[in-house]
Amino acid sequence: MIALTLAEIAAAMNGTLHLHTGHLVDPSASDALTGESLVGGAVHTDSREVTAGDIFVAKPGEETDGHLFAPAAVASGAAVIIVERVLDLPVAQVLVPDAVVALGDLATTVIARVRAAGRLKVIGITGSNGKTTTKNLLRAILERVGPTVAARASFNNEVGAPLTMLEVTGETQFLVAEMGASAEGEIRRLVRMARPDIGIVLKVGLAHAGGFGGIEATVRTKSEMVTDLGPDDITILNRDDDRVAGMAAVTAARVVWFGESDGATVRASAIHGSRTGTSFTLHLPGGESRPVSFRVLGEHHVMNALAAAAAADVLGVPIDDIVTALESVTVAERWRMEVMGGRDDITVINDAYNASPDSMTAALKTLAQIRKPTGRSIAVLGEMSELGELSGEEHDRIGLLAVRLNISQLIVVGRAARRMHISTINEGSWDGESAYVDTADEAFELLRDTIKPGDTVLVKSSNSAGLRFLGDRLGKLYSW
């Protein structure tokens, strides 16, 4: 984070500074400069990450309370802690009504100060699927140009996004911010923190549709990325998704289209998927084109590559640098189409960080496409969470898709996903087999007896189902 005085931190958070001597400083008062000590360390909500000079935000959580870990943060050298109640600890404290809101307020102030220096460009990314992959691809491109800050893992909510924003310094040239949401208004709040110069919307699907209250609410929520953009800003929209394309009507920003259709100005052609990735030809608005050997598994990731390429092109990155960076990326992210195993020609694809009907469909299609001629395709599937009233219907549909794709073996894990198993066994025309187990441990035992040399195994579920750890176990079991 950029260096700020304790008084400036308190003022940014609309809080009250308490020095450990017991003296109280009102940040709006004329004597606020008594908190002139500079703090420029990192900002954390996890006390285990705190080092000397850092800021610890004691955020109340669903299962515990960050205030309980404040002593550990102080022992690790925290310079100041953000609290909702003053603690009896020998450290400067900023008292705020809501620690999460205060975190966002601090991020807003820091981004505004760095932007005022004229160097920082902010790119915001949202969509029902592909945010983290697109963020990683764009980071790989922009790091070749200048200092770049991008979210760790999937830091894209009201806590993770501002923590990412607070990593910027005076030297940062690019901030790539994921912006996710589970309710209307959340992306708008993140947009108003970061004020993106470029806003990317990848796709509108059924991910979190239960939480949003339906697909139309999802559309409204994702469109929050573009509604606050001004005429000097740019929005990058998926031409192939009608719901995203409709957002052009609600933004004042200049629109850049990406996709596979002829109406896209950043486009892919000659797409060919294989076990080693996807090859395609990248076309940019100026008429330039280049072949790309994209090593991230799954043709569906080509759209994420196009979105990243579109943003990079807007920022002036030469096409050859874009292609070189895209070709350097081999894994979208941990637990996202992560290829593991290898022993006895057995391949394990661990894609169990998250799942929606769209991403589950894409993963199953990839499995069917890359299956070895002499081996079987095995899909180990768990729940797609947060689908609300659509859950049963969508789990049925995925089960039927496994039949249509002629997946050799389906193993369904967990009661919430059981309808996938029922829908497949009701299909008499299918040559494959389906099995149902309650737990990941049962699935592991079954798979250990089932997998044969040459098989390709996909493990896919929402994060809450925990199958990513099953994927890790299988990957380790069949590694060299």
Q: Which residues pair with residue 93 across a beta bridge?
A: 18, 81
- Give the Cα separation of 289 and 281 in Å (integer): 7
Tell me the C-alpha distance between 209 and 218, whole Å.
6
* 83-122 pLDDT tens trace: 999 999 999 999 999 999 999 999 999 999 999 988 899 9
Residue 353 near residue 333, CB atoms below 8 Å: yes
State the residue for tokens 């940062």: 172
Per DSSP, the three-state class of 123 is strand
Residue pair 137/213 in contact (Cβ under 8 Å)? The answer is: no
- pLDDT of the residue at 145: 96
Taking the alpha carbons of 443, 360, 332, 47 in that order, is the dihedral positive or negative? negative
What pLDDT sits at residue 49?
96
* Per-residue model confidence (pLDDT) at position 23: 44
| Residues contacting residue 437 through CB under 8 Å, at least 6 positions apart | 411, 412, 413, 443, 446
Residue 428 pLDDT: 66
**pLDDT computed for residue 22 by the predictor:** 45
What is the full per-residue pLDDT of the chain (480 aa) written as tens digits?
999 999 999 999 999 999 875 445 454 544 434 588 999 999 999 999 999 999 999 999 878 899 999 999 999 999 999 999 999 999 999 999 999 999 999 999 999 999 998 889 999 999 988 999 999 999 999 999 999 999 887 788 999 999 999 999 999 999 999 999 888 899 999 999 999 999 999 999 876 565 666 788 889 999 999 999 999 999 999 999 999 999 999 999 999 999 999 899 999 999 999 989 999 999 999 999 999 999 999 999 999 999 999 999 999 999 999 999 999 999 888 888 999 999 999 999 999 998 999 999 999 999 999 999 999 999 999 999 988 888 999 999 999 999 999 999 999 999 999 999 999 998 865 677 999 999 999 999 999 999 999 999 999 999 999 999 999 999 999 998
**What's the pLDDT at 217?**
87
What is the rounded distance in angstroms from the CA atom of residue 59 to the CA atom of residue 78? 15
Tokens of 206: 């059924």
